[in-house]
C-alpha cells in the first residue's frame, strides 16, 4: 500500500509539473502568435494602402505584372495572419492538431525561404542577366495605358537614384524609336527636357546603381533577414515544445 501511495504521489507530482510547464509555454506562445498576427495585419494594411494608391510601387517586370510590392505585401500579410491565428488558437485550446499544423506551415515557409536564398546566391549571374533583359522589356510599357504603376516606379527610381535606363540611357531610344528619354532622366527637370541633348541626362545605369545601393545596405538587409529567421525558429521551438508538453500532460494526467 505504501509503495502504491508513493507511486501515486510521484504521478501527481509529475502531472502537476507537466501542467505548470504547459501553462507557462501556453501563454508565451499565445503572446508570441498574437504579436505575429498583429504583424501580419500591419503588413496586409500597408499592402492594401499601396494597392489603392496610384500604383507608385508597382512591378517593373513585364513577365510578372502581378509581382508588385502591394501584392507581395498583401499575400505575405495574409499568410502571416493565417499562421498567427492557427498558432493562437492552437496555444489557447492546447490543441495538438493545430499546434502541429502551425509547426508544419512555419517549417515549410522557412525551408522555402532558405531554398530561395541558396538558389539566389548559386545563380546570381543568371538572375542578373534575366532581370536586366526583363526590365528592358518592361521599358516598352512605360507611359502606356493601364501601366501607371510601372511608369511611376521608373520615374521615382530614375529621379531618386539619378540614373537613366536599365544598362544605359540608350535603352530608351528603342522604346521611343528616337533619341529621347523620359523627363525623369534629366539633370534638371523641366517639361520635355528628355528631348534635349544627352549632356543634360543622367548617365548612370539604374540596374547597377540600385544593385550598388543594395550592396552598401547589405548589413541592414542581412540583419532583417536574420531577425526574420530567428522569429520563425522561435515560433517553431514554441510550437514543438508545447506540443510535447501537451502529450506529456495527457500521458501523466490521464
pLDDT of residue 59: 65
Task: Give the residue with greater pLDDT, 190 vs 201.
Answer: 201
* 155-168 average pLDDT score: 92
Q: What is the pLDDT of residues 95-139, one digit of tens each?
A: 889 989 999 999 998 999 899 989 988 998 898 899 899 899 889
Count of all residues that appear for the chain in the document: 254
More confident residue, 206 or 57: 206
- Predicted confidence (pLDDT) at residue 172 exceeds the cutoff of 90: yes
Q: Is the pLDDT of residue 64 over 70?
A: no
pLDDT value of residue 19? 66
The reported pLDDT for the residue numbered 214 is 87
pLDDT at 3: 47
pLDDT at 26: 81
pLDDT greater at residue 233 or residue 10: 233
Check: pTM over 0.85? Answer yes or no: no
Amino acid at each position: 500500500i505504501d509503495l502504491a501511495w508513493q507511486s501515486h504521489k510521484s504521478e501527481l507530482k509529475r502531472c502537476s509539473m507537466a501542467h505548470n510547464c504547459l501553462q507557462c509555454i501556453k501563454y508565451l506562445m499565445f503572446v508570441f502568435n498574437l504579436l505575429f498576427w498583429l504583424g501580419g495585419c500591419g503588413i496586409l494594411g500597408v499592402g492594401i494602402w499601396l494597392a489603392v494608391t496610384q500604383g507608385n510601387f508597382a512591378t517593373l517586370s513585364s513577365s510578372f505584372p502581378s509581382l508588385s510590392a502591394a501584392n507581395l505585401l498583401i499575400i505575405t500579410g495574409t499568410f502571416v495572419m493565417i499562421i498567427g491565428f492557427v498558432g493562437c488558437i492552437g496555444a489557447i485550446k492546447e490543441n495538438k492538431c493545430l499546434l502541429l499544423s502551425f509547426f508544419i506551415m512555419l517549417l515549410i515557409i522557412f525551408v522555402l525561404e532558405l531554398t530561395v536564398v541558396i538558389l539566389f546566391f548559386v545563380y546570381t549571374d543568371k538572375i542578373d542577366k534575366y532581370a536586366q533583359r526583363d526590365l528592358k522589356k518592361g521599358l516598352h510599357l512605360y507611359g502606356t495605358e493601364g501601366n501607371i504603376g510601372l511608369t511611376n516606379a521608373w520615374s521615382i527610381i530614375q529621379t531618386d537614384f539619378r540614373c537613366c535606363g536599365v544598362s544605359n540611357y540608350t535603352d530608351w531610344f528603342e522604346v521611343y524609336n528616337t533619341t529621347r528619354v523620359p523627363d525623369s532622366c534629366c539633370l534638371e527637370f523641366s517639361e520635355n527636357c528628355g528631348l534635349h541633348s544627352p549632356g543634360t541626362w543622367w548617365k548612370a545605369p539604374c540596374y547597377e546603381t540600385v544593385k550598388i545601393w543594395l550592396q552598401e545596405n547589405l548589413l541592414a538587409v542581412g540583419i532583417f533577414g536574420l531577425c526574420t529567421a530567428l522569429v520563425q525558429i522561435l515560433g517553431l521551438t514554441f510550437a514543438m515544445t508545447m506540443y510535447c508538453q501537451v502529450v506529456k500532460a495527457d500521458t501523466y494526467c490521464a
